[in-house]
Each structure stands twice: as C-alpha cells, then as structure tokens.
Structure 1
Amino acid sequence: MKTAKKYMFNPGNVSKLSDLPTLDHELAKDPAHNKKLLAKVASEIGELQWTLYAEKKQSLLVVFQALDAAGKDGVIRHVLDEVSPQGVTTVSFKQPSSNEKERDFLWRVHLRTPARGEFTIFNRSHYEDVLVARVHELVPKAVWKKRFELINQFENLLAQECNTRVIKFYLHMSPDVQLARFKDRLTDESKNWKITEADYNEREYWDKYIEAFQETLDRTSTSHAPWFVVPADDKISRNLLVAQIIRDTLKDMNPQYPSPAADLNAVRARYHEAEIKAKATRQKKA
C-alpha cells in the first residue's frame, strides 16, 4: 500500500492543492518499464475483480474527478483492460435530467452504486454538485456548503450498510498540459469529437475550480472514502499509479472464492457416469 499512502490526500497536512506536483518526474523517466508494469497490474486487477464477483460479499466504488483532458477516460480504459464484463459497470454523470432535478442530488447516484460483488466506476459523480454547481453558481452557497456533510454521510452509509469500499481519484493536471491536450484534440481527427468551445470557456474558471477541489478534498477525504491526488501530466505514469492503488485496494479487501454449494463427491460421481456413457457411445459409433 506504499503507493496509496504516498498519494492519499490527508486534510490538514497540505497547505494548497496547487502546491502538489502534477508530474512524478522520477516515475515518468521509464515509460517502457511503466507500460509493462501496467499490463501486469491490470491483469492482477482482473483476477481480483473476478474473485470479488464470485464472493458477492463486498463491493468497490471508484470515483474519478478532474478538469477536462486530465485523462479520466484513458485511465478507466487501462484499468478495465483485464476485467470481466460481468460485475463491472462504468457510469458517467452528465447534467441532471428534469426528473432528477425534482429529487435530492444524491438520488440518481444512489441508484448506480454497486451491489455486493460488483466493481463500479464513476466518471464524474455526486461531486459535480459541490464543484460545477459552486463554480457556476447553479445553487446558493448555503446549499452546496451543506452537501459536504451529506456526501460524507452517504459514503459512510455505503461502507457500513453495503460493505462497499469507496476510493476517489483527483487527476491533478497543469494548465499548460491541458492546453497541449486541447491542441492534440484539434489536430488529431480521431479526437476532434472530444473538443468543444465549452472546454475553452471552462479554462477561464481554472482558479475557481482549484479552490473548489481544495475544499472538496479537505472536507470529504475520510478514512472510509479517501481521496488520492494523482499527478496527471504524464499519461503512462498516471495510469500506472491509479491501477496500483486500485489493485492494492482490492488486495486489502481480500476477496475469497466461496465454498461450492454442490456436493463435489456427488458431482464427481455424476461426471464419472457421464464419462462412461460417452465412451460407450463412441465405441458403438466406431
């Protein structure tokens, strides 16, 4: 769990989020090695996820938040490289629908939390309601301020009642790297669909977003649902760090294959009978 401890956000121990590095220079030195290691870690995640699915006693919820182009989609794609489609769900929360707006801000989120045995990833999440809602003044300050404690209670409920482990990632990127990635989206035809004028409009709110993330991490990084601040300027090392923290979390959860529900001796006897019949059938045909 060394990686997790290094990048876990501890409220009160950090003066400013903006002081944290957006690039792990030492780790980013050897991209070839990191790619090989990432493949190994992704395979380990796949094995642990399948055991979690078979066990059906606990679940994992992974939350990703970041500014545009920090790499949420890319990280998720690499983390899920070796998992089974069974028991894994990715949810992307967009602007709430009219139906969702008529309910509390956590209603639509609670509907998508993992059942026992499941591994769920939130690409953006309930945290939009203390980030975007705050920066763009969609609700009064008195409203979004109350939401921090409601979120803590919600995540504690998942841990206590549903045996759900919650881990949250803030992908920490520099404004210069964001601009470079926006340029890449303009020049690479396969990425044109990902860029809009709204992306540039949001850059005007950079400082307000950092301020909002700062308070969000300060108020909601808890022992049962910690935040991890992952340097995101280098894509390969970013992916590796996230994968290692997820792998280590699953290891700590220690899922176990359940005991067989059937009488294995009886099943073996039935198999032996079927084997004899199949052999006799083959001999007749011969």
Structure 2
Amino acid sequence: MKSIDPKNFKVTDKIKLSKIPTLLDIDADSDEKEAKLDKVQKKLSDLQDVMYAYNKYSVLICLQGMDTSGKDSLIREVFKEFNPRGVEVYSFKTPNSSELEHDYLWRHYIALPEKGKFAIFNRTHYENVLVTRVHPEYILAENLPGIDSVEDITPKFWKKRIKQINNFEKHITENGTIVMKFFLHLSKEEQRQRLLRRLEEEKHNWKFSPGDLKEREHWDEYQEYYEEAINKTSTDHAPWYIVPADDKDMARYIVAKIIWEEMQKYPDIKEPELDDKTKANIEMYKKELGEN
C-alpha cells in the first residue's frame, strides 16, 4: 500500500475542485485499508483519553460533502474506539423554530466541545453559505433586519457571512479548540451509483429521499459554492482538507490519519502528574488497600 501524506490533502492555496481527483490509486485492497484504519483508531482513542485528563484543549471535526459522500459511516468507523464520554456527534439539519430565534451561528456555538473532548459536526456552520446560497429563500426564515426578499440578499451579504465564519473559527481556536475541516470530495457518477444502490437494496431503501434527486440537480452550483467557501476559509488555524471520497474505506483512513498527524503538533498534551504529596505517599496508600 502506498504511503499517505496528510499534507497532500490540506488546502494551502486556491483550489479548483474539478482538478482534484475523487479517487486515489493506492494499490491496496479493503483488508489492507481496514487494517491501517484499525491502527490509527486505537492511537486516536488513546490520545483522546490523555486529552480528557489534560483538559486544556478540545477538538472540533467538521465534515461536509454532497449527499451520499459517506459522512455517517465515516463517523461510525473512525471514532468507534473512542470512549463515549469523550466524543459527541451533532448533525445539523434545517434550523428549528427555536434556533431561528437566534443568529445562525448560535446552534453551532452551543454544540462546541468541552475541554478534553472531541465534537464532530456532521454538516456544519458552512451549510449557512452553501445550502442557503443554492436556496437563498431559506435566509428569509432568519428574519434578519433589512432582508425582506431574496433580492435583498446581495454578494455583500455572503461576503460578510464568510467573514463572520472566519471570525468565529478564529475566536474558538484562540481559546483552545483545535479545528479540522474535511470536504469529502465525491464524483457525480459515484453519487449516482450510491443513490441507485439505496433504491435497489431493500435494506438501504430508508436512506433514499426524493429530495436527494432535487438537490442533485444543483450539483454544479454546490461545487461552485463549496469551492468558494473552502478557498476563503482555509486558514492556518482552521484548515480545510479535501479528501477523495469515491472509495469510502480510503476516505476513512485518510481522515483518521490527518487527525492523528495534526494532533502530534500539540506535544504539551500529556497525562497530568500526581502532586508531590500524593506521589510521596503511594506506598502508604498501597499498603492501606492491601490490608482491606
């Protein structure tokens, strides 16, 4: 199996999605990829335990991608070795009435991970500059000052919203949240095949929604807005990674390895040491326990 370098997936310059492959030829079968993922899973699980004890950083993993890009199964497989107390998953769907009574970032802010924990956003705050750009009428539900019709939503509005998202991420990273954002880069043909499987395999029928076909009609628009959002918000403190997603096994391994490699940049994350008094009395405590 060819080696994978996480740096190759990080967005550091302006990108064009149509020029980036959705499938990698890494000369490995499913068993090899699964074995590689298993090793990283265990290392990430151990790291999370240490991070929980250290209690100074939190980690936010953001997953975006077109329908069927594999977000749900990636979360299940990459994080299945984690202690449940150390990881929380949030799936952001259409805002409910309570969420619409606040600004659009509010529901994301209150879902941020506590110190020592991981949070995974399955669809993220970026929906507010993706789905809403394809369907600008959704913005009207936010009841914003000065926005009374779709015609009021100008390019300046989207520019401001991108700036707000950058400021949001800057703020949370400066306060101890490590942010990694992943775009699962799926081809239109692979999406077609996955939607067909949902229809052809009875056990997967429940996953299919006619709405998926409606959104598929907007494929080119989504690609355009993803590209723009990624180019304008991939920063040193909150980078984007574009992960080829036509091969689900490979995508899971790439994401897991990137997370592991990025976390190695924080060597200060260590298990806390016992205070001197407790350390000096360890033998006494062992003796007390031995007598009971």
TM-score norm. by structure 2 comes to 0.89
- How many angstroms apart in 1 are the aligned matches of 2:202 and 2:266? 42
- How many angstroms apart in 2 are the aligned matches of 1:201 and 1:179? 13
- How many angstroms apart in 2 are the aligned matches of 1:108 and 1:19? 34
User: Helix, strand or coil: the match of 1:120?
Assistant: strand
Report the residue type matching 1:5 in the other structure.
Answer: K
Corresponding residue for 1:135? 134
User: Alpha carbon RMSD of aligned pairs, Å?
Assistant: 1.6
Cα displacement (A) at 1:31: 2.6
CA contact (8 A) 2:90 2:119 kept: yes
Matched residue count? 273
Corresponding residue for 1:54? 53
User: Helix, strand or coil: the match of 1:180?
Assistant: helix
Are residues 1:78 and 2:77 paired? yes
Report the residue type matching 2:12 in the other structure.
Answer: N
Task: Report Cα offsets for 1:6-59 as digits up to 9, x if no partner.
Answer: 0001233x3x2111000012x254332111111111111111111111110111
- How many angstroms apart in 2 are the aligned matches of 1:192 and 1:55? 44
Are residues 1:257 and 2:271 paired? yes
- How many angstroms apart in 1 are the aligned matches of 2:260 and 2:86? 16
Corresponding residue for 2:125? 126
Q: Tell me the percent identity.
A: 40
- How many angstroms apart in 2 are the aligned matches of 1:28 and 1:121? 30
Structure 2, unpaired ranges of 5+? 140-152
TM-score norm. by structure 1 comes to 0.91
Cα displacement (A) at 1:253: 2.3
User: Helix, strand or coil: the match of 1:263?
Assistant: helix
Corresponding residue for 2:185? 172
Report the residue type matching 1:256 in the other structure.
Answer: K
Corresponding residue for 2:195? 182
Are residues 1:271 and 2:286 paired? yes
Task: Report Cα offsets for 1:52-106 as digits up to 9, x if no partner.
Answer: 1111011110000000000001111111121111121111111111121121111
CA contact (8 A) 1:48 1:251 kept: no
CA contact (8 A) 2:9 2:243 kept: yes
Report the residue type matching 1:143 in the other structure.
Answer: F
CA contact (8 A) 1:59 1:116 kept: yes
Report the residue type matching 1:165 in the other structure.
Answer: I
Structure 1, unpaired ranges of 5+? 279-286
Corresponding residue for 2:20? 20
Structure with the greater alpha carbon radius of gyration: 1
User: Helix, strand or coil: the match of 1:98?
Assistant: coil
- How many angstroms apart in 1 are the aligned matches of 2:207 and 2:263? 32
The 1:173–1:61 alpha-carbon spacing in structure 2 relative to 1, beyond 3 Å, is: same
- How many angstroms apart in 2 are the aligned matches of 1:172 and 1:11? 17
- How many angstroms apart in 1 are the aligned matches of 2:135 and 2:27? 35
Stretches of 4+ moved more than 3 A in 1? none
Q: Mean Cα displacement is larger for which, 125-134 or 74-83?
A: 74-83
- How many angstroms apart in 1 are the aligned matches of 2:270 and 2:173? 19
